[in-house]
Amino acid sequence: MKRAALYSRKPSAQGADKMLPAAAKTDNTHPAYTASRSPSHITQRLQRLPLWAALLLCALLSATLTWALTRQAGTPQRLTQDDINAAVLHTLNTQDLPSRAARAALLIAPSVVRVHTQDEDKKNPQGDMQNTGVGSGVVISEEGVILTNLHVVQGAKRIQVTFADGTESEALVIGVQPENDLAVIKAKRLPDDLQPATLGSSQNLQPGDEVVAVGFPFGIGPSVSAGVVSGLNRSFGSEGKTMMRGLIQADAAANPGNSGGPLINMAGEVVGIVTAILNPTSARTFIGIVFAATIESAGGGMGLPPF
């Protein structure tokens, strides 16, 4: 396509008066300038310049401006601490940032699994298996090894796990640690991109440190609850069961179904496995105290490498 000229062509001497607007017929300047007169003094002076002079002036102005911008861009500006503080404060005041607990839960989410168990229907021995319980677990290796509670899977005829992406698989028990109510299970079928959790350490925990519990309370989830470490090196044992020792006490809400799920720090690292809740009444609901086996005791008792 033929491009339009940047400037209108200079008319020939013959017929020039017919092509110029009335205001331009008494002036010898270029039509492209006379058609855009400005009332300002500077514009009027530019309009009186010959075309070549106006073009030369524009070129000089352009070169000067380019040099100034290049010089300014080549000089780095020095940021002060006040500048940084102001930028951070502006971001905090204008952006809705996720909480620390939310960021930690997001890191562990791909590694949390739902564990549900099945047994034979005693009323119909020839029929299908029936669901008998639900709990939680956390993936600790790319081979599909999962930590959970022993009481979640003990005595089950069939163990099924559901991964974060919805993949379902049967799982088998490959190790137990009764003194801490822990079990290691392994899934037979794995997602394409299984992401194991990052295992941390409980050694640096202190009362008041923030923690998050992720699991499937009453089968609902994955659900997230946040709280703080209430105490360390606790002992707990319900009636007729082995006394567990060296437990983490926290106030992150947990209920039946949270058992076997991870307790994590604010870096998203697993520091414990939710094991029990304390309730002096007959109700099996949370009233403010949850116990978790430390990740060190879980690994040490099962021959896993130190974390």
Contact 111, 136 (CB under 8 A): no
Active-site residue identified among 136, 181, 202, 251: 181
Nearest to 211 by CA among 89, 101, 295, 296: 101
Contact partners, residue 137, CB within 8 Å, separation at least 6: 112, 113, 114, 115, 146, 147, 148, 152, 161, 185, 260, 261
Q: Over 268-280, what HEC string results?
A: CCEEEEEEEECCC
Active-site residue identified among 111, 136, 259, 297: 259
CA angle centred on 135, ends 253 and 147, rounded to 5°:
100
Active-site residue identified among 111, 151, 202, 225: 151
Nearest to 230 by CA among 270, 278, 188, 194: 278
Is 41 one of the catalytic residues?
A: no
Contact partners, residue 261, CB within 8 Å, separation at least 6: 112, 135, 136, 137, 138, 213, 214, 215, 216, 254, 273, 274
| DSSP of 51-63 | HHHHHHHHHHHHH
Nearest to 118 by CA among 156, 85, 84, 150: 156
Is 151 one of the catalytic residues?
A: yes
Greatest C-alpha distance within the chain: 118
Give the 3-state secondary structure percentages of the chain, helix then strand then coil, rounded to 5.
Answer: 25, 30, 45
Catalytic residues: 151, 181, 259
